[in-house]
Amino acid sequence: MMTGTLITRMARWIVLCSLLLAALGIEAQQFDPYANIPQSQGLEGFPQLGYPSALVNVIIYGAFDDPATAEFWVGAYRGLLPRVQTGEIRLVFVPLISGGIPGGQLAARSAICAGEQGKFWQYAERLFPLVLGQGAEAYADDVLDSAARDVGLDLGQYQRCASSNTGFAAILEDAEQSAARDAFFTGTPYVKVNESPSLPDGESLNFAIDVQLEAANADLIAELTTPTPDPEATEEAEPLVLEAVTGQDVPPPITLQLPAGWLGGSDVLVLQDVDAIRNIPFAIYTGPVTGGVGTIVLLWGFPNLVVAPSAVQATLPPEMLDLHIDGTRLLRLAVVEQGCNVGTDLRRTYSIGGLQAAGTQFAAVDCPELPDTRGWFAGLRQYGLNFMFYAYAEPIEAMDIAEAELQAILDTVVFTLPETD
C-alpha cells in the first residue's frame, strides 16, 4: 500500500537508477533556462519565447536603453521563465527606444538580428545587466559583438544584419504604433497579460497570469463537459472500477518489454481524490535513457469523475472517453510532487500498444525537492477498465532524445484480460 502521492516511491526508484547511471558514467546536463524553448518572430517581427499552444501571452514593451526595463528584466522577467518552460505562457517583446543611454537603437537592432538566429532572448540576457551595471557606458567598445560571440551567433550573418536598418525600421515603426494605440501605455517597461495591462512586478504579473489561466481552463472544461441535448441518446457507458485492497500488490493486466537496466514494480495508491478517498492500483517502471533517467507510471482501474456527454461519446471511440480530463486530474493529485509548478498542453492523440489514447504533454518545474521534468500522459479504456500512462524523464533536457525511447517501450504494451472471481 502507498499513501499520499506517488512521489515518495518514485524518488526511491530514481535514487536507485541514479546510482546505476553514475556507474555508467552518465551525468546530468547543466541547466539552461532557454534550452528547448521555442523562439520565433511574430508577423510584426517581435521576438517570441514559448510554445504556440500557451493559453496566455505576456507582452513586454521594453527598451535596451532604459534602466527601468533592465531592472524589470533581471527581476520580474526572469521569474516568468519557469511558466514559459511549462507551456503556461508565451512571452512577446516589443522593442522601443527610450533615449535613456547612448547606443540603444543599435543595441535593439542587434538583438533583433540575434533573434533571426533564434537567440534574441539569450542576447538580451547579456545586455540588460550591463545597462544596470554600467549605465551610459553599457554599449561602449565592442560589447554588442562580444555578446554575439558569447551566445554563439554566426558573426558574419549577424554583422550584415546589424549594419542594415531596413528590416529593423519596420519593426520599430510597428512597435511605436502598437504603443501609441494603447491608451494605458505611458512608458517602458509596460506589460500586458492577454491584452490586459498589468503592473510589472512579479507578484502582480503572476496574479494576472493566474486569472487568465483560470478563465481559459474554465472555458476548456465547459466546452468538454457541457451536455448537449440528445433525446435519442442511450445510457452512458460506465467504466469498471477496481476495488483494490490496501496492502495488496495488484499486478497490472498488461505486458511490456523493458530495456536493459530498467526496473518495475506495482502497489496500491491511497488517493485523496477530489470527491472521496479511493484505492487505485499503479505500476512504475524506471531506468536509464539517453542523458538521464526515464520513468513510466501506470494508473488503472480508476473511475471517470467527469463523464463525457452522450453527444461527445458518439464522436469518440470508447477507449478515449473522458480520459484527458482524468489524466490531468491524476497528474496533479498522484504523479508529480505537491508544490510543483505544473503546466499542460492541448489535448492530442497518442499511441499505447498500437491503440489510440487521449492525452497531452506536461511539465513540472520548481518542485520542492525533485528535479524539473517533462513528458506526456495518455489514457484509454480496455476490457472495461481505464488505463492512464505517464512517461517522463529527468533532467528535463533529456526528453529531447528520451521521448522516442519511452515511446518505444509504450509500443510494446499488450493488454491482457484481468482475472475475475
pLDDT in tens, 178-226: 999 999 999 999 999 999 999 999 999 999 999 998 887 776 656 545 5
Whether the bond between 189 and the residue before it is cis, its omega within 30 degrees of 0, is: yes
**Of residues 333 and 208, more confidently modeled:** 208
Length of the chain: 421
Lowest mean pLDDT among 13-27, 56-70, 274-288, 372-386: 13-27
- Would you state the pLDDT for residue 66? 96
Highest mean pLDDT out of 97-101, 137-141, 414-418: 97-101
Alpha carbon separation from 25 to 17, 19, 173, 260, 290 (Å, rounded): 12, 10, 53, 16, 12
Q: List the end-to-end C-alpha distance of the chain, in Å, as a whole number.
A: 22
| Residue-level pLDDT at 60 | 98
Gap between the Cα atoms of 138 and 147, Å rounded: 12
Percent of the chain clearing pLDDT 70 (strictly above): 79
Mutual angle of helices 155-162 and 104-116, in 10-degree steps: 130
Confidence of residue 312 (pLDDT cuts 50, 70, 90): very low
pLDDT for 231 equals: 42
Q: Which CA distances in Å does 128 have to 41, 59, 111, 165?
A: 20, 18, 11, 22
pLDDT at residue 306 in the model: 53
Domains belonging to the chain, first-starting first, are 2-26+236-415 (2.60.120.1690), 39-218 (3.40.30.10)
pLDDT (average), residues 144-162: 95
C-alpha cell recorded at residue 402: 528520451
* Distance (Å, whole) CA 320 – CA 171: 45
pLDDT of residue 326: 85
Per-residue pLDDT tens over the stretch 71-91: 999 999 999 998 888 778 999
Residue located via cell numbers 509548478: 341
- Specify the residue for cell string 519596420: 170
Cα angle 219-391-419, degrees, rounded to a multiple of 5: 100
> Which of 87-119 are b and which e, b meaning 16 or more Cβ less than 10 Å from the residue's Cβ?
bbbbbbbbbbbbebbebbbbbbbbbbbbbbbbb
Grid coordinates representing 141 are 567598445
pLDDT reported for residue 194: 93
Buried b (16+ CB within 10 A) or exposed e, 41-70: beeebbbbbbbeebbbbbbbbbbbbbbbbb
- Weakest mean pLDDT among 123-132, 177-186, 195-204, 272-281: 272-281
Q: Is the CB of residue 267 less than 8 Å from the CB of residue 2? A: yes
Strands 56-63 and 89-96: parallel
Q: Mean pLDDT highest for which of 105-114, 370-379, 395-404?
A: 105-114
